Structure 1
Amino acid sequence: MTRWQRMIRRFDPVGRRLVTAVVYAFLAFLTIPIVYTFVASFASSADGVLPSGFATLENWRVVMGYADYGVQTTVGRSLLFSAGIATGGTVVNLLVGVPIAYALTRYEFFARDWLNALAILPLVPGIVLGIAFLRAYPENASTSFGLVVGYALLKSPYMVLTVQSSFQSMDLRRIEESARSLGASWPRTFLTVILPNAKNGIVAGSIITWTLAAAEFNFTYMVYSQGPRPFSLFLFENINNAPFLQSAAAISIYFLIVVSAIVVLQFLGNRGFTTTTTNP
């Protein structure tokens, strides 16, 4: 063992502790604002450095639409509507993005690099895609269908890149040949062998696309004109026009929705999933 190697080995425990400390410091840096906002949503006063007057649900009542203890359903419709179009966009990404990621990983074909570039081309600010949608589809851009398609297109690079990395970690050719040698058709091989083995990437892509679509503001602000108010506009109105404590409650609602969606998707991923086909 050389002197340099002995020196590295001597400082190795210090290096591990340093890396661990940096990771915990970074996590604290990211977590403290979220915890502070959530706690502040239950306060009655924000005059000092720290909120005070715990604990009250008045901020949540105002944000959720409980005026004079009379329930207003507009916020509930907004949440359900946004969850629905975000889910629709995620489903479109699963149906389109996963096969694209598979083809880009598995096959060599003409213009493959161009298709790979086109797959991540929508990775642009939402305002740019919103303007393009309004110019290309002026009658359909502001409909629920237009929002679903827009969300799917805007977030598709995250699905394609995430699932593609999962496919790249697999020996797709060997897996396919093994399944086909046992008598499985190509559709059955893809649905019952390839996809379950790529579940981590698919779940991660679903989490990313759903959470980003649920709070997509720029695209929604550009194309929205009628119907239920999307959740991103609900957040904007409450953050822009409301006092800090009510804004904290509105942001906390988004945190809860995102955490719930992540827990559900991770639960489904941890349980595993299988797909079936009727083809022999």
Structure 2
Amino acid sequence: MAGRFASGSLSARFGRPVVVLVLGLTLLFLTLPVVLTFVSSFATQWVGPLPSGPPTLTHWRDVIVGTGVGADVSVGSSLAYSAGLALAGVVINLVVGVPIAYAVARYDFVGRDWVNVFAILPLAPGIILGIAFLRSYPSISSSGIALVIGYSLLKAPYMVMAVQSSFQSMDLQQLEESARALGASWPRTFLTVIVPNAKAGIVAGSIISWTLAAAEFNFSYIVYSRGTPPLSIFLFNNITNASFLNASAAVSVFFLLIALVTISLQIVGNRGMIRRT
């Protein structure tokens, strides 16, 4: 009895601090490389364990203006191109993935389990899908269309899983019956009642899909051949062929982009993506 009491006292006294310490160390371990990379992008040099020298914007200028590796392409053009491709892939995932997630969560039909499996599992790794595109569709394999289709296929499972979780937390049948009883058609019920109630999953799926698509390297590396490179290829060229400090600036640009897009999508989700009527 005394042993149990002592054990409970120790757990009460030290349990929470230990958990907080472990979480803090884990967070520090994960964020330290990001912070050091961002700080080093402004450093004059890196000699020793930490960057040093007075702050400078030279490395950011080389990357943004395009005076470094791949001087004919600036990070702005590559960023805009890649962001547009990723956004187009997200739109496809919304148009296709949301109805699939709804059907799997709402109805019990023949082959439902198989649809669920194929919807939430990637069809193939990026490098395999890229090779398949090159062999099957040589006329479009080097175009932006192939990149958009590839991004949507590779990231569709994340959209479906996120939206499906939202649908499964709702009483879909009751919502539908209530809306239909008030005279709403099925399309209006789906677009103005069902979808807005799943906006948390839709926003989460959009953030994940866009972020991973913008950073997709394997598929982009196989399919891309000419023209403005996707952001992942641009970063790869700067990281492998430029100085470490220039590479840090290129990676920092991507960090900022991801942060801005994530915050923007969260703001859109909080305000409501679809105005209820």
Match of 2:239 in 1: 239
User: CA offset at residue 28 of structure 1?
Assistant: 1.3
CA distance in 2: counterparts of 1:130 and 1:66, whole angstroms: 28
Match of 2:221 in 1: 221
Superimposed CA distance per residue, residues 26-46 of structure 1 (whole angstroms, 9 cap, x where no aligned partner): 111111111110000000111
Tell me if 1:248 matches 2:251: no
Counterparts of 1:170-181 in structure 2, within 5 Å, are 170-181=170-181
Tell me if structure 2 keeps the 8 A contact 1:65–1:72: no
Structure 2 residue matching 1:116: 3-state secondary structure: helix
TM-score by length of 1: 0.91
Counterparts of 1:1-280 in structure 2, within 5 Å, are 8=8, 11-67=11-67, 74-122=74-122, 124-275=124-275
Structure 1 residue matching 2:45: 3-state secondary structure: coil
| CA RMSD of superposed structures (Å) | 2.3
User: CA offset at residue 8 of structure 1?
Assistant: 4.1
Tell me if structure 2 keeps the 8 A contact 1:127–1:219: yes
User: CA offset at residue 74 of structure 1?
Assistant: 3.8
Tell me if structure 2 keeps the 8 A contact 1:81–1:228: yes
Tell me if structure 1 keeps the 8 A contact 2:196–2:274: yes
CA distance in 2: counterparts of 1:174 and 1:84, whole angstroms: 38
User: CA offset at residue 226 of structure 1?
Assistant: 2.1
User: CA offset at residue 227 of structure 1?
Assistant: 2.2
Superimposed CA distance per residue, residues 132-172 of structure 1 (whole angstroms, 9 cap, x where no aligned partner): 11122111122111111110011001101111111111111
Amino acid at match of 2:154: L
User: CA offset at residue 4 of structure 1?
Assistant: 5.4
CA distance in 2: counterparts of 1:3 and 1:160, whole angstroms: 50
1:5–1:86 Cα change, 3 Å: farther
Amino acid at match of 1:183: G
TM-score by length of 2: 0.92
Amino acid at match of 1:201: G
Amino acid at match of 1:266: Q
Number of equivalences: 275
CA distance in 1: counterparts of 2:142 and 2:154, whole angstroms: 15
1:199–1:12 Cα change, 3 Å: farther
Amino acid at match of 1:126: G
CA distance in 1: counterparts of 2:219 and 2:133, whole angstroms: 9
CA distance in 1: counterparts of 2:180 and 2:93, whole angstroms: 27
User: CA offset at residue 236 of structure 1?
Assistant: 0.3
Where does the alignment leave 5 or more consecutive residues of structure 1 unmatched?
A: none
User: CA offset at residue 179 of structure 1?
Assistant: 1.6
CA distance in 1: counterparts of 2:168 and 2:47, whole angstroms: 53
CA distance in 2: counterparts of 1:200 and 1:118, whole angstroms: 23
Superimposed CA distance per residue, residues 85-105 of structure 1 (whole angstroms, 9 cap, x where no aligned partner): 011001111111111111111
Where does the alignment leave 5 or more consecutive residues of structure 2 unmatched?
A: none
CA distance in 1: counterparts of 2:99 and 2:92, whole angstroms: 11
Amino acid at match of 1:36: L
CA distance in 2: counterparts of 1:80 and 1:89, whole angstroms: 14
Identity of aligned residues (%): 58
Tell me if structure 1 keeps the 8 A contact 2:215–2:231: yes
Structure 2 residue matching 1:65: 3-state secondary structure: helix
User: CA offset at residue 196 of structure 1?
Assistant: 1.1
1:50–1:164 Cα change, 3 Å: same
User: CA offset at residue 203 of structure 1?
Assistant: 0.5
CA distance in 1: counterparts of 2:243 and 2:157, whole angstroms: 36
CA distance in 1: counterparts of 2:21 and 2:72, whole angstroms: 47
1:197–1:12 Cα change, 3 Å: farther
Amino acid at match of 2:253: I
